[in-house]
Amino acid sequence: MATDSNSNNHSDATSEPVESVDLRRYSLNGVVTRNPSLWTRPLQWTESNHLRALCVERQTGVATGGIITVNTLIPSLDPCTLGCLISTVRDRDASSLAKVMAWNDLLVFDGHAQGRTIRLAHGVPSIETSINNSTGPGVNTAAVPVPFSAYQTRIMKLRVGRGGAYQLPRLSSWRVGPSSVLCLLDSFHISGVVRSHRPLRSYEPCIAAVLIALAQTAEGTDRHLPLQTTHLLFINRNDENHVHVYTAYISRALLRRFQLPNCLPPRFPRTAPLAVMQHRRVMYHPLDTFRSRILTAVSMGTTTMNPDDYFGG
């Protein structure tokens, strides 16, 4: 659109870009001071306010891939058992405990087998017999498959400063190996009702808080990495066709803002996001490949095995 010189001068004088109040320009306490509506628990976080202030960029439809970090060992299941367990996972009216127990049976050998598997996994260099190897791309197939531990309930807190902490929704987690953890969040623990009509995006600010808290927990193990990668499986009670997988790449700068809430960012602020949160959907069907697909989405390879064949009596 053509304009005269006077209108251009007027535009230059009155259309100064509005400075966003976010963690690229202010400390955490500085952001909250300038926008007191941000002072809420993570369950009440919103995309427009909190994720923007935290400089979290959302990406969707990201292709599954990446480096497989651990090769997991899961029990082989007959089609009937597999179908029944996945049916429970999909059922929007099933209790949260029933869903977690179904996930546990999909991933974990029974208690007796599990204990022996762990000892063998640390005691032999490789397993070459009675294995249906379905590892994903990038897996070192010579590595010993590691079984999942039985699930644990995990109460996470988002830490702020030296003593501050916000309690987050309850997670279920399965440990595999010395440092890998698979975490699951049911939308029931955010909304408080089984059948909530909230759209998926309304849950994501709280999901982002969980991903940041997971990065805070793991920070001490990978201090040399510029980004902390965390994964989360999310069950949306409104979606009986997919499991939602969230992967976050959390910068050290963002973790530092929470660790030192009065610390100012560098004088010349970065323009890149402080965190990237990727979202992908994984379909339940086909059922026979569901477990390998969902684990590949969180950078885990899979090896299925019949416990009787594995132990050989």
The 10s digit of each residue's pLDDT in 17-31 is 445 788 988 899 999
Asked whether the predicted pLDDT for residue 96 surpasses 60, the reply is yes
Record the pTM.
Answer: 0.81
- 3-class SS string, the chain: CCCCHHHHHHHHHHCCCCCCCCCCCCCHHHHHHHCHHHCCCHHHCCHHHHHHHCCEEEEECCCCCCCCCEEEEEECCCHHHHHHHHHHHHCCCCCHHHHHHHHHHHHCCCHHHHHHHHHHHCCCCCCCCCCEECCCCCCCCCCCCEEECCCEEEEEEEEECCCEEEEEEEEEEEEECCCEEEEEEECHHHHCCCCCCCCHHHHHHHHHHHHHHHHHHHHHHCCCCCEEEEEEEEECCCCCCEEEEEEEEEEHHHHHHHHCCCCCCCCCCCCCCCEEEEEEEEECCCHHHHHHHHHHCCCEEEEEECHHHHHCC
Q: Is the pLDDT of residue 141 over 60?
A: no
208-227: average pLDDT:
80
pLDDT range class, residue 65, cuts 50, 70, 90: low
Q: What is the pLDDT of residue 138?
A: 47
